[in-house]
Amino acid sequence: MQSRNWKDTEPVLNANGIHGVKIYSQPEGEIVHLALAPGAHLKAHATPVNVVFYVLEGTATISIGEEKQSFPKDTTIDSPKAIPHAVTNEGEGNLRLLVIKMPKP
């Protein structure tokens, strides 16, 4: 059995109010824990695989292509491959979400 806590894992991104940690990385998929401080913005980028966002805490404002919407805690959001997506924390509190990529890019 293997376990890990995102707080104890080396970040893959730690800048501009964004802290990202790969908490799972296997050929079949990847899960990244993202924490965004108030006002932080993960710029638009595209991935070669589908992505699912799961909001753990706060409200995530997510842009996918030309669409932009805010989502509360406990919501999943599908983002199709090759379409640019971005995440912003427009709230006053912390935002935490999981970014699930299948298969691993």
pLDDT of residue 35: 97
pLDDT tens column, 9-32: 999 999 999 999 999 999 999 999
pLDDT tens column, 29-45: 999 999 999 999 999 99
pLDDT of residue 2: 86
Query: What average pLDDT does this structure show over 59-83?
Result: 97
Tell me which residue has tokens 């980028």. 45
CA atoms of 30 and 51, how far apart (whole Å): 10
Tokens of 53: 């966002």
Query: Are 71 and 55 within 8 A, CB to CB?
Result: yes
Sorted by where each begins, the domain ranges of the chain are: 14-100
SS3 assignment for 45-64: ECCCCEEEEEEEECCEEEEE
Task: Count Cα neighbours of 23 within 13 Å in the Cβ-side half-sphere.
Answer: 17
Q: Taking all residues of the chain, what is their mean pLDDT, rounded to a whole number?
A: 95
Please state which CATH number belongs to domain 14-100: 2.60.120.10
